Amino acid sequence: MDKKQIHRELQFKAMRSSGAGGQHVNKVSSKVELTFNISTSQGLSDREKQRILLKLQSRLTQDSALILQCDEARSQHRNKDLVVKRFFDILKNALIIPKKRKATKPTKTSKEKRLKSKKKTAEKKISRKRPDLGN
């Protein structure tokens, strides 16, 4: 993953934002929309593209573009920084390959411990019964 190349491929669009800011909101386009087309990207290898397309398929458009928006801050520059940071976090998480789980068997000690605790519980329950008076 070539971060510099990917950063050059990002497309930004500013629009009017809702929320805090009073009348300032009506005049300034502080909301930022980031668009990144995964299939045409040259900053990603084919393997990385496949992994991202698989992991993020619910968040992508039909032409495999990822669209993120940010209007948390009042400043357009701050929103741009926030959306870029969030974008790279999403990409990084999509590219993580989880470790394969190795099947293990319980140890002899753990088996004995489990059986001992079961026996203790059973004895406790037996002691709660009413005594049999030999009827």
- Residue 5's Cβ-side half-sphere holds a number of Cα atoms within 13 Å equal to 10
What is the three-class DSSP state of 12? strand
Phi, psi for residue 31 in degrees, rounded to 5: -75, 135
Number of neighbouring beta carbons within 10 Å of residue 109: 8
The answer to whether 92 and 56 have CB atoms below 8 angstroms apart is no
Residue linked to tokens 């593209």:
49
In this prediction, residue 135 carries a pLDDT of 60
Residue linked to tokens 């397309």:
53
Mean pLDDT within 69-77: 85
In this prediction, residue 114 carries a pLDDT of 97
Tell me the CATH number for domain 3-95: 3.30.160.20
Kindly report the pTM of this predicted structure.
0.67
Kindly list the domain boundaries of the chain, sorted by start residue.
3-95
Question: How do residues 78-114 score in pLDDT, each as one tens digit?
Answer: 999 999 999 999 999 998 888 999 999 999 999 999 9
Is 57 a residue whose pLDDT tops 90?
A: no
Question: How do residues 77-88 score in pLDDT, each as one tens digit?
Answer: 999 999 999 999
Per DSSP, helices labelled H in 16-75 are 24-27, 46-55
Mean pLDDT within 127-132: 85
Mean pLDDT within 10-37: 80
